Amino acid sequence: MQTRALQTATWPARAAYFAALALVVTMGILGHRPVRTAAPAWRTDLARDLASAATYPTVQRDLDQIHASRSLRVLMSNSSSSYYVLRGEEYGFEFELARQIARELDLHLEVVLPDVSLTPMQMLQLGKVDVIAMPLLPDEQRAAMVALTVPYHSVQQRLAVHRDYADSIRGLSDLSQLRIAARSFSSGERELARLRRLGVDVVAVLHGYNVPQEEILDLVADGTYPAAIALDVEVEAARRFRSELRKGVALGPRKDVRWAVRGNSPQLLAALDQVLARHVRRNSKGRLVRSEFYNVIRARYFENAPRWDRHRADPFLVARTGRISPYDQIFREAARDTDFDWRLLAALAFQESRFDPTAVSWAGAHGIMQMRPRTAGVSADALRDPRLNITLGAAHLQMLYDRYKGVSETERMRFTLAAYNCGQGHLDDARKLSRLLGLDPDIWEGSVRESLLLLRQPAYHRMVRYGYVRGNETVAYVRGIEQRFEMLQHMTPRAHNTRVASRGRDTVLPAAEAAVMGAASLH
């Protein structure tokens, strides 16, 4: 929509658009500049939202009006724990819970992402959304115009630490002179102030309130900071992508969190409470009782990283015989019907599953090439077959490769790998963002790669169609496959003594030459 409007706009309008874009980009960059402070002040974003929302009229849209429209409009944050799109599929804990609730209310779920010009409370009062599906803590007091559902989850504020510090930080006494990151105007900043009052001499590093929590956790995982303050569920969600993170010291008791609706929507509130209670409630002893559905999605997003994720940290070894995997011949055969070197397929398969045909990701991808049943057009059980999985994965990779025919060969392959990882929609978004920033959308390094990284930030992912994406994960994915492929190009011509893999096809060697190469591989 933004692009079509820009194409038909007059030159003054275009100039105004790019001036506004420059301001957004500048604000996004400045928002990431940390500020060090000894004793930070605190106030919640929610309190600010309530004050501003009070100036807006409250619409009358209760359950009857919602049923008449057939859609339940739910506001969610664009993050890996709440809502995001990956390879064309929608994911997130709040998303899956809200979708199930909408189904039980016989409504269509309409996901709404935060508006750059309005606060969440303003969006609620204006009727742009019916529910704020963001975890609201009980100590964040609300005005009478807002009503809260029954609790749907419980959270605990903790220290998120880099794994190198996990053993050395066991209590508050270990935090002295430790650099701890948090967002300004957040509960994390409030916690830093509390620690200072307790006499803990922490070094607070504050980022702008518009910086996503996941960005700060990424900085801890990268080793920029030893620790940050976050909710336990945020740390667990991030650990699915960043194995360097660990949950550290607990900084308070567990607290229930809730969703918000307008204060004049009692029917909607009662309906949400009734459905939520089917899936999560407290028994007479105060313990949470969860439905099977709730336990499944809770485990998917907030429990420890599954086995397939841990594969990515395993070393890549080529057997002494030169064999890369038990499926080398299948990779060769699949490559014959594509434009790919079979060793590239092997490098990708290792990155995806470490050649485990039983691997299942949290997102429902299966097998060696991590194909999803919907994408592959076959059942999950069928995807356990290595030959079928590799063949379908290679065909999907070829389909993506064919989309980038106007790009140079090296860039085309990088775009293909990136799209295989994050989905072609997100890659298209990154290329569009590169154009808006005056960069070349056909170049990976220095352009599209950097745009993917920017799409983790609200200032940028609000400007594109598919929104938030963990661009750092995709950048690392492409780099990892390129490095493994380069290594295999040096190793496997000597190790595989019957074929030398060239781009697109395998070249059969004469028997005598193959014998020489086979003998050489033993020395």
Is 42 inside any structural domain? no
Is 21 inside any structural domain? yes
User: How many angstroms separate the CA atoms of 485 and 342, rounded?
Assistant: 10
Residues 433 and 328 reside in one and the same domain:
yes
Which residue, 302, 333, 363, sits at the end of a domain?
A: 302
Q: What is the pLDDT of residue 33?
A: 44
Is 44 inside any structural domain? no
Residues 408 and 312 reside in one and the same domain:
yes
Residues 73 and 187 reside in one and the same domain:
no
- For residue 101, give both structure tokens: 């609730």
- For residue 348, give both structure tokens: 């990708």
Which residue, 252, 270, 293, sits at the end of a domain?
A: 252
Residues 79 and 221 reside in one and the same domain:
no
Say if CB 481 and CB 348 are below 8 A apart: yes
Is 53 inside any structural domain? no
| 327: Cα within 13 Å, side-chain hemisphere | 27
Where does residue 155 fall: left (phi above 0), alpha (psi -120 to 50 degrees), or beta otherwise? beta
User: How many angstroms separate the CA atoms of 452 and 429, rounded?
Assistant: 8
- Please give the tally of structural domains in the chain: 4
Residues 489 and 439 reside in one and the same domain:
yes
Q: What is the pLDDT of residue 237?
A: 84
Residues 271 and 326 reside in one and the same domain:
no
Residues 135 and 260 reside in one and the same domain:
yes
What predicted TM-score, i.e. pTM, was given to this entire model? 0.63
Instruction: Tell me whether residue 352 is one of the annotated catalytic residues.
Output: yes
Residues 6 or more apart in contact with residue 317 via CB below 8 angstroms: none
Residues 359 and 435 reside in one and the same domain:
yes
Q: What is the pLDDT of residue 74?
A: 96
Is 40 inside any structural domain? no
Range of the domain at 80: 61-154+256-302
Residue 85: which CATH number? 3.40.190.10
Is 47 inside any structural domain? no
Residues 18 and 90 reside in one and the same domain:
no
Q: What is the pLDDT of residue 117?
A: 75
Choosing from 352, 411, 450, 473, which is the catalytic residue?
Answer: 352
User: How many angstroms separate the CA atoms of 240 and 124, rounded?
Assistant: 31
Round the CA-based radius of gyration of the chain to a whole number and report it.
25
Name the stretches of the chain with pLDDT < 50.
Answer: 1-47, 50, 139-141, 143-144, 305-315, 319-320, 494-523
Is 36 inside any structural domain? no
Residues 108 and 198 reside in one and the same domain:
no
How do beta strands 288-290 and 89-91 pair? unpaired
Q: What is the pLDDT of residue 21?
A: 42
User: What torsion, rounded to 10 degrees, do the Cα atoms 193, 194, 195, 199 define?
Assistant: 100
Convert the pLDDT of each residue in 464-518 to its tens digit: 999 889 898 899 899 989 988 987 887 765 334 333 333 433 333 333 233 323 3
Is 182 inside any structural domain? yes
Residues 292 and 324 reside in one and the same domain:
no
Residue 487: which CATH number? 1.10.530.10
Which residue, 277, 302, 327, sits at the end of a domain?
A: 302
Task: Give the residue from 506, 472, 471 showing the smallest Cα distance to 345.
Answer: 506
Convert the pLDDT of each residue in 248-276 to its tens digit: 999 989 888 899 999 999 999 999 999 99
Residues 405 and 469 reside in one and the same domain:
yes
Q: What is the pLDDT of residue 29?
A: 37
Q: What is the pLDDT of residue 39?
A: 35
